[in-house]
Amino acid sequence: MLDTTKLKSILFVLRKYELDSDHSNQVKKLALTLFDKTKGVLHDLSDNERDLLEAGAILHDIGYYTSAKGHHKNSAKIIKEEKPDGFSDEEIAIIANIARYHRGKKPKESHESYASLSEPTKALTRKLSAFVRFADSLDNSHLSLVTDLDCIYDIYSQNLFILLKLNMPDCSLEINKAQSKKDLFEEEFKVKIKFRFE
Work out the average pLDDT over 135-159.
95
Q: Distance between CA atoms of 106 and 154, rounded to whole angstroms?
A: 26
pLDDT at 112: 87
Query: For residue 152, what pLDDT is reported?
Result: 96
Between 66 and 129, whose confidence is greater?
129
User: DSSP class of residue 62?
Assistant: G
pLDDT in tens, 8-65: 999 999 999 977 789 999 999 999 999 999 999 999 999 999 999 999 999 999 998 9
CB atoms within 10 A of CB 141: 15
β-pair partners for 160: 153, 193
Q: What is the predicted pLDDT for the residue at 185?
A: 97
CATH superfamily name and code, 4-140:
Hypothetical protein af1432 (1.10.3210.10)
Q: Is the pLDDT of residue 110 over 90?
A: no
- Tell me whether residue 168 is exposed, middle or buried, using C-beta atoms within 10 angstroms of its C-beta: 0 to 12, 13 to 18, 19 or more: exposed
